[in-house]
């Protein structure tokens, strides 16, 4: 849905075309930049993200 793209302060996620899906999906393209703020995890409406330290 892109919520994680909008809330991540360090741009870990990007919307990309993913094979097998008609709509763009959020893809973690910059995981090394993650500051473990958990904004993506808290804001994800489908609880599809789990942040581990």
Please report whether residue 27 resides in a domain.
Answer: yes
Give the CATH number for residue 24. Answer: 3.30.70.20
Domain that includes residue 9, residue range: 3-43
* pLDDT of 23: 94
The secondary structure element, H or E, covering residue 5 is: helix 3-7
Number of domains in the chain: 1
Please report whether residue 53 resides in a domain.
Answer: no
The secondary structure element, H or E, covering residue 27 is: strand 25-28
What contacts 17, CB < 8 A, 6 or more positions away? 24, 25
* CA quadruple 41, 50, 46, 35: dihedral sign: positive
Please report whether residue 24 resides in a domain.
Answer: yes
Residue 2's alpha-carbon distances to 6, 12, 15, 30, in angstroms, are: 7, 12, 7, 15
Please report whether residue 29 resides in a domain.
Answer: yes
Q: What is the per-residue pLDDT across 10-51, written as a single tens digit (0 to 9) for each?
A: 999 999 999 999 999 999 999 999 999 999 999 999 999 999
pLDDT of 53 strictly over 90: no
């Amino acid at each position: 849905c892109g919520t994680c793209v909008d809330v991540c302060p360090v741009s870990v996620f990007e919307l990309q075309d993913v094979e097998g899906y008609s709509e763009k999906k959020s893809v973690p393209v910059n995981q090394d930049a993650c500051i473990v703020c958990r904004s993506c995890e808290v804001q994800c409406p489908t609880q599809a993200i789990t942040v581990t330290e």
